[in-house]
């Protein structure tokens, strides 16, 4: 992205002033290097987002940003509940793709010689890869319950987990406003035993050690300590969520003539926020979000079983579970007033402080945790929000490092054997369903996580709590 088109506020904050058809400015959080490395399509896409009807205050672009479908990934946009719009491209096709971090009572020395065994056991127990099916077969009534009750149903009806875990999941593990009738039969068919499966692409399960603590007080509240073994899993709503995205792209396209909307870019299909189609889409998104919460709940229970099969007497707890492809109705301060807005977070997570009423009770003093995944062989981080972010970014922050290279390019410059060898040098065990898929997600294809973290810290969006080092990775 060319810097000459932007005004510099600081070394970590820039603004693209509204011009042409833009309705609001774009605020960009990145250092000079990260900005210059963003491809031109990110610039074009974020300009298009800022030109949508009813967009409020500003559009936000985060340092992990790269081009996506319609909206860039790493983008946040807010729309007036009455005069704005909702857009499928602003959420994406893997609805409520998110991250859960599971703490244990283990230290590194407990598993030092068992990393291979644990990773192989995870790989065997937790289905992963394209179209992978799990062992849970749901009736239509049960699917309805999962889509409307989320992780709550998994715990209460399947006994997979503890009720107190719901306090450590965004939205309490059950997104409000879900309506089973908003989901098509085709989407329901694509569920087909996918509850409790990891999926493919950039989804993963990682065995990690807490290498460094930056904020002792918050780390203690989060249940983290140095040298502790934790597990992070990253996955979403699988085929069901993808089909919901496809379905509503078609619905929005058909609604265009009804609302006299002329689209220059099909990827930015939208409908008025007050329309029946928007209300139906919101209900379907919440259903997919609940499926993703339920999916991660099942997998975390399987993680507990594996660790106790291999080691015995292992305590596991959910530190937090947070989504990063979401559509939420939230109250935010705009000027001197508080307004209810549709917040589209595409590749971005909530970053709420303890002052927010939606932060779970256990974290109302510290603020909610933010789990930032690295790429295989690089660090991951636990962050928490800063008050400045509530106004700067609608209480949002990064979700990961962000791609710097296409999947095609990664396969051109790297082989699976080379990737495996590079990870072995870092003492990271890799187990992947697809050799090609693993190469596509290699560390070389991602931005430097340290630069991305440094940016959100120095821009006063988030603060570091802990750094996690990978020991082993399971990929689809």
Residue pair 383/397 in contact (Cβ under 8 Å)? The answer is yes
**Which residue matches tokens 């947070």?**
322
* Residues 6 or more apart whose Cβ sits within 8 Å of residue 217: 366
Strand partners, 343: 78, 328
Which of the residues 203, 242, 399, 408 is marked catalytic? 399
- Does the active-site annotation cover 242? no
The conformation of residue 270, written as its DSSP 8-state character, comes to E
* CA-closest candidate to residue 315, choices 219, 228, 221: 228
Q: Where are the beta strands (DSSP E) in 85-220?
A: 85-87, 98-107, 204-213
Q: Residue 412 and residue 114: Cα distance in Å, rounded?
A: 34
Torsion sign across C-alpha atoms 156, 162, 164, 168: negative
What are the tokens at 169?
């999941």
Complete edge-to-edge strand list for the sheet that includes strand 325-334:
7-10, 13-16, 25-28, 55-66, 73-80, 337-346, 325-334
Residue pair 263/85 in contact (Cβ under 8 Å)? The answer is no
* CA-closest candidate to residue 11, choices 31, 29, 34, 33: 31
What interhelical angle do 276-310 and 238-258 show, nearest 10?
170
What are the tokens at 449?
């996580």
What are the tokens at 121?
């056991």
Q: Residue 132 and residue 192: Cα distance in Å, rounded?
A: 10
Q: Judging by DSSP bridges, how do beta strands 270-272 and 85-87 pair with one another?
A: antiparallel
* CA-closest candidate to residue 121, choices 305, 386, 287: 305
Q: How many CA atoms lie within 13 A of 414 on its CB side?
A: 25
* CA-closest candidate to residue 200, choices 231, 236, 232: 236
Write the DSSP string, 73-138. Answer: EEEEEEEETTT-EEEGGGT-SSTT-EEEEEEEEEEHHHHTTTHHHHHHHHHHHS--STT---S---
Number of C-beta neighbours around residue 176 at 10 A? 11
| 111-127: b (≥16 Cβ within 10 Å) or e | beeebebbbbbbbebbb
The residues that are catalytic are: 399
């Amino acid at each position: 992205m060319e810097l000459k088109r932007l005004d510099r506020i600081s070394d970590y904050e820039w603004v693209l002033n509204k011009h042409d058809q833009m309705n609001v400015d774009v605020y960009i959080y990145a250092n000079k290097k990260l900005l210059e490395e963003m491809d031109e399509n990110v610039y074009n896409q974020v300009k298009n987002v800022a030109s949508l009807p009813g967009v409020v205050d500003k559009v936000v672009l985060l340092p992990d940003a790269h081009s996506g479908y319609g909206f860039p990934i790493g983008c946040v946009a807010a729309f007036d509940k009455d005069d704005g719009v909702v857009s499928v491209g602003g959420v994406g096709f893997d609805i409520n793709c998110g991250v859960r971090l599971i703490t244990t009572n283990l230290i590194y020395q407990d598993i030092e010689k068992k990393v291979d065994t644990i990773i192989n056991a995870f790989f065997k127990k937790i289905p992963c890869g394209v179209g992978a099916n799990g062992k849970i077969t749901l009736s239509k009534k049960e699917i309805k319950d999962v889509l409307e009750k989320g992780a709550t149903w998994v715990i209460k009806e399947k006994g997979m987990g503890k009720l107190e875990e719901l306090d450590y999941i965004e939205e309490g593990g059950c997104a409000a406003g879900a309506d089973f009738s908003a989901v098509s039969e085709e989407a329901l068919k694509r569920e087909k035993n996918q509850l409790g499966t990891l999926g493919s692409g950039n989804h993963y399960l990682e065995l990690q050690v807490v290498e460094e603590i930056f904020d002792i007080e918050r780390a203690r509240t989060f249940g983290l300590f140095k040298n502790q073994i934790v597990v992070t899993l990253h996955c979403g709503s699988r085929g069901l969520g993808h089909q919901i995205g496809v379905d509503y792209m078609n619905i929005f396209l058909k609604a265009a003539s009804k609302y006299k909307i002329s689209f220059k870019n099909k990827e930015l299909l939208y409908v008025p926020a007050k329309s029946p189609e928007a209300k139906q889409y919101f209900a379907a998104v919440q259903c997919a979000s609940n499926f993703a919460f339920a999916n991660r709940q099942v997998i975390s229970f399987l993680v507990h079983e594996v660790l106790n099969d291999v080691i015995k007497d292992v305590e596991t707890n959910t530190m937090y579970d947070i989504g990063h492809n979401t559509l939420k109705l939230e109250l935010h301060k705009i000027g001197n007033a508080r307004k209810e807005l549709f917040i589209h977070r595409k590749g971005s997570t909530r970053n709420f402080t303890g002052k927010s009423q939606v932060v779970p009770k256990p974290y109302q003093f510290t603020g909610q945790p933010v789990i930032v995944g690295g790429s295989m062989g690089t660090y991951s981080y636990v962050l928490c929000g800063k008050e400045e972010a509530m106004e700067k970014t609608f209480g949002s922050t990064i979700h990961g490092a962000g791609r710097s290279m296409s999947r095609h390019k990664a396969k051109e410059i790297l082989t699976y054997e080379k990737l495996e060898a590079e990870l072995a040098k870092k003492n990271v065990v890799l187990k992947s369903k697809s050799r090609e898929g693993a190469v596509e997600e290699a560390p070389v294809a991602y931005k430097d996580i340290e630069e991305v973290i440094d940016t959100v810290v120095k821009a006063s969006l988030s603060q570091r709590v802990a750094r996690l080092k990978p020991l082993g990775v399971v990929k689809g």
